Amino acid sequence: MTLLLLDLDGVLRSFGPDWPVEDAWGLPRGSLGPLAFSLVGPALVGEQPDAGWRASVRDRLAEDVGPVVAQGAVDAWSRLGEVVPEALDLVRVVRRRHRVAVFSNATDRLPADLRALGLDRELDDVVTSAELGAAKPDPAAFHGALARLGATAAETVFCDDSAANAAGAVAAGIDGVHTPDTRSLRAALAGRGLLGG
């Protein structure tokens, strides 16, 4: 049995663009995401809770736009996202014969997100960088994920929309594949016989 290890965001979950949030709150387009992700590091490796990260984004933003706008913008930006239906269909096919788990660079909010999206019932397991204390593309993060899942690199296929993360998997001895869209994900899975006959 193969373990299919999937990234979440950009593979199985998608977010719309940030500009509607930025426009609604009078922020420059292209400003909110970069600010938020510049501060996310500690939360991604479990050193800070998700709520603390979002509060730090709000506080930094408030320096420029005030607390009310900052709070509203961060609340709106902290949306749940949407499941990619075509990718979920592929997961369901693979799960008929193989294990499917998500390995995501994510904060401690992820389990709640998965429950809200209904994805907790569609996966065999979930591993986050926050629980491991290491993030992709560090090969140590992949070794930690495999240990947590009781799997070997040789039996694992990893798909991520980030080429750097796919390369990190390869460096850890895993069959890492860059899958920037659902078409490439389908091709990767079909080419490895994971979609059946």
Give the whole-angstrom CA distance, residue 112 versus residue 78: 13
Q: Which CATH number is correct for 3-14+82-191, 3.40.50.1000, 1.10.357.10, 3.40.50.10190, 3.40.50.2300? A: 3.40.50.1000
Reply yes or no on whether the pLDDT at 1 is more than 90.
Answer: no
pLDDT in tens, 136-192: 999 999 999 999 999 999 999 999 999 999 999 999 999 999 999 999 999 999 999
SS3 69: helix
pLDDT in tens, 89-131: 999 999 999 999 999 999 999 999 999 999 999 999 999 999 9
End-to-end CA distance of the chain: 15
Torsion angle of alpha carbons 137, 143, 146, 148, nearest 10°? -110
Q: β-pairing, 82-83 with 13-14?
A: antiparallel
Q: β-pairing, 99-104 with 125-128?
A: parallel
Q: What's the burial of 127, exposed, middle or buried (CB within 10 Å: 0-12/13-18/19+)?
A: buried
**Residue 156's beta-bridge partner residues?**
3
Q: What is the pLDDT of residue 196?
A: 80
Reply yes or no on whether the pLDDT at 197 is more than 70.
Answer: no
Give the whole-angstrom CA distance, residue 8 versus residue 115: 14
pLDDT in tens, 29-61: 999 999 999 999 999 999 999 999 999 999 999
Q: Residue ranges of the domains in the chain?
A: 3-14+82-191, 19-77
Q: What is the largest CA-CA distance in the chain?
A: 58
